[in-house]
Structure formats: C-alpha cells, structure tokens
Amino acid sequence: MGYRMRSTRAPNAASKKVSPMPLPNSIAGLDIAYHLHPNTNLQQQEAHGPLVITEGRGIYVKDENGKEYIEAMSGLWCASLGFSEERLAEAAAKQMRQLPFYHGFTNKSHEPVAELAEKLVTMMPVKMSKAFFNNSGSEANDTAVKIVWYYNNALGRHRKKKIIGRVKGYHGVTVATASLTGLAPNHRDFDLPIENIRHADCPHHYRYAHAGESEEDFASRLAESLDLQIQRENPDTVAAFIAEPIMGAGGVILPPRTYFPKIQAVLKKHDVLLIADEVICGFGRTGNMFGSETYGIQPDILTIAKAVTSAYLPLSATIISEEIYQGLLRQSDKLGAFAHGFTYSGHPVCAAVALETLKIYAERDIVGHVRRTSPRFIAGLDRLTAHPLVGEARGVGLIGAVELVRDKTAKASFDPSRGVGGLVTAACQERGLIVRALAGDTIAFCPPLIITEAEIDEIWSRFDAALAAVAPQLSAA
C-alpha cells in the first residue's frame, strides 16, 4: 500500500512519546503513508503518526483506543456547540435530501442562502448591506482583499491598494491572507508576503510596552506609530487595515484599553477601510455576539467563519457596507460581472446548518451562557499567574492563554529549541486534555461555548497536573 517505515530519528523535546508503529492497514498507518497534514512538522508526523480521533460527545472526543479527552480548543477554535449537536446533523440531512447542491453564479440562488444572508446582515454589530459566502476564514479574508482592490478601482483610486495587517496577526493561509498574517512560519519559503502588504505593531502590552507604560499610553503610541506608517507609505496608497478583535493564533492577545478607538481615528483620518476578522471571535466567544462589540470596533468589512456552523460544515462570509456595495454595483455593470466566486459559495447544506446554528444560539441564549460561565474560566486563568513558570495569563469570555517563561521578573522566554510548549501540550494530552501550543510557549484554551462550570474546573485541574509534571525539568536548566 505504499506504507513507509517510520524514521528512527530521535524526536525533539516537543515530540510525544514513541508509541508502537501503526500497522500498515490501520488508520494511523494509512495516514502516515498518504496524508499530507496541514500546519504540521511532517518529519514528526512520519516518525510518530497521528492522534486518531473517532467520536465526540459534548465537549469530549475519543481516540481510536477509547481514551477520552476534553477538547479545550473546540478543535480549531470552532466547534462552539461541541461535538454531538443532533439538530445540526438533522438540518444537514434534511437539506441534503431536498437540494444537496446549487450555486449562486449568474443570478441563481436558493432558499437557505438567501435566508442566511438576511440573518447575518441584520445581526451585524454595525449596519451592513450584503454577505458574500466562501468556504473558510482564509477565503473570507482573501475575498475582503479582492473587494477592497475592486472597490478602489471602481472609485478611480488605482494607487490605493496597500493593506496593513499586524505583527502576530493571523488571517489565513491563501497567498494574500498568509501575507497579511504576521507570523514568520507562514511566510518562510512560501515566498511571502506579496506586494502591497504591510504590517503594523503588535498590540501586546505584556511584551511590547515600555517600562511603566500604561495600557492607554501604549495604545496611544501604537496609534501614533500607525499614523506615521501610513504617512510614510502615502495615504493615497493605503487602502485598508485588517485586525482580529483578539489575536488568536498569534497568542490570544487582547488589545490594550482604548486601542481600537485610537486606531480607528487614524484610519478615518486617512480614509482607510477597516476589516474586522471575526473568524475566531464571532458568535459569542468574547461574551458578546461579536468581538467588535466587546472592543468598540466599527468595521467597513467583517469576516466570519468557524462558529457560524459550529464547524460542522465549511462556510464563511465576507460582509460589506452599503458604501462598498454601491462601488461594486457600478463596477460590475461596467465590466459585465463581479467576476469572483467559488463553486461552493453559499452551499445549501452548509447554509442550512448555519441557519440552525444561529437558531440554537438564540434559543439557548449562548451569549448569556458565556457571560455566566466565563467568570469561572477567567478565575482559573488568573490563578495561574502565581505559578513560577507563568509570565502572563490572559483571556476574555471563553478564550484565553497562558504564556510560559523561564524568568518571570525579566519576562525571559525559554530557548525555542527546548520545545516547552510542546512538552506541556503532550503532558496535557496524556491527562486527557487537548490544548494548543502557540509561538512563544503560549498555551491556548478555547473550549466549546456549551461548557459547564464543572467542566471548566476539570480543564484547570488537568492543566495543573500537566504543568506540575513538566515543571521539574523546566526548572532544572
């Protein structure tokens, strides 16, 4: 079957324990032989194989050996209703039987996509006009880039094309969105970033504030820095600024107080559009329906994905203001078409599942549930700040992170070669807890929104045990 023997190369510090070699015809064996994994160290995957997950129930998943884990990352920040919501399965099955596929090209449509567009546009935190459907957060942001360029061409502003992301921001992995992403691994050897992409300062007060600098002063300095950056580039060439309300993959970085109001004043001054990337923060994660509400963001374009279907099927949307729509309207008539779209844009089954997901959020008051349970979650994070290896614990709603450091006083990080984040996540996995290690030895938590206070306590109990198991070897060197 083309199965390759696993490498005998010694694993690095972050690798999990060596397990028996999978049989060639096992799921793990087939996976090693044929599956090119996303966002994975491919040599470690070949050497040690995958964790094969076979089923889920509530906030828990099980592997092929029957071991149960709390999925404290909601998969990839996305399974907001957990792993066993029957209503979503039923919605998909019903739509599959009625109309399993249709498209939106050349003036075609269908009931689920029209209803979903209306629902999303009217629930936005600011007044919006139209929703364009994609399949992933990457595509939603890629579409936003193309819309910005198309819109400025429609206005005759052919030089106004630069888009500013932020250092440590994450916006996807297409050619354009990986360029906007401010993380080096997403650029290295992919020949990125592309032309007309720039990056502004990372708004992480713990790491980048000057000694004694308050959050507000830090925010003022970053806004001034952005103002100067736009002036250096020439405002006539800068089209948009893209930002996550909370920076997810970059480290669960919360903006400092007054950051977004100050940034938006700069953007307005220079006639620069604001794109809010709500792919992680949208649909209750921060204790409001959208992160833009939590942080006072008033975007011109807003992108969503993940929790819009609780990740049960792939769907995303790029939602635009009336002003932008009017520019697209005129230009599409001039050119003959708005010549952008995907085969699966607004897929009827995905749209039906999204509609049912939104019904569940409303009926079960998921935002209210997050507000009621998040104090327990944040209290667990706050308690960890006393740990000698924790430099900062940060979070809001039901998303948070713990940044591990070698020296708390100096905020000194561990040498990356030690793979501390990997050691901790492996120790968590051994104890039935799935979390994620991000750059800078930051451990992220993003549990399903249906989690209970008792289940939150169990997350912290298992994480405490994992940290205690790893601490001696981290403190020894």
Q: How far is CA 271 from CA 125, 236, 263, 389, in A?
A: 21, 9, 12, 44
Does pTM top 0.85 for this prediction? yes
Taking residues 235-264, report their average pLDDT: 98
**Confidence band of 475 (pLDDT split at 50, 70, 90):** confident
Give the 3-state secondary structure of 3-53.
CCCCCCCCCCCCCCCCCCCCCCCCHHHHHHHHCCCCCCCHHHHHHHCCCCE
Answer yes or no: is pLDDT of 453 > 90: yes
Select from 342, 334, 323, 452 the least CA-distant residue to 398: 452
d(CA 327, CA 324): 5
Is 4:46 a contact under the CB 8 Å cutoff? Answer: yes
pLDDT at 13 exceeding the cut of 50: no
* pLDDT given at position 3: 31
> Any idea where the domains of the chain sit in the sequence?
51-83+366-475, 87-363
Q: How confident is the model at residue 302 (pLDDT cuts 50, 70, 90)?
A: very high
Task: Assess whether pLDDT exceeds 70 at residue 55.
Answer: yes
Question: Does position 8 have pLDDT exceeding 90, yes or no?
Answer: no
CATH number 3.90.1150.10 given to 51-83+366-475: yes
Q: How many angstroms from the chain centroid is the CA of residue 407?
A: 29
User: Residue 7 — pLDDT band, cuts 50, 70, 90?
Assistant: very low
In this prediction, residues 439-456 reach a mean pLDDT of 97
pLDDT at 477: 54
User: Which pLDDT value is given to residue 474?
Assistant: 85
Q: Is the pLDDT of residue 18 over 80?
A: no
**Token pair of 426, please?**
């492996």
Structure tokens at 334: 């001039």
Examine residue 185 and say whether the peptide bond preceding it is cis (omega within 30 degrees of 0). Answer: no
- For the residues 199-204, what does the mean pLDDT come to? 98
- What CATH number does domain 87-363 carry, 2.30.33.40, 3.40.109.10, 3.40.50.970, 3.40.640.10? 3.40.640.10
The pLDDT tens digits of the residues spanning 397-419 come to 999 999 999 999 999 999 999 99
pLDDT of residue 476: 60
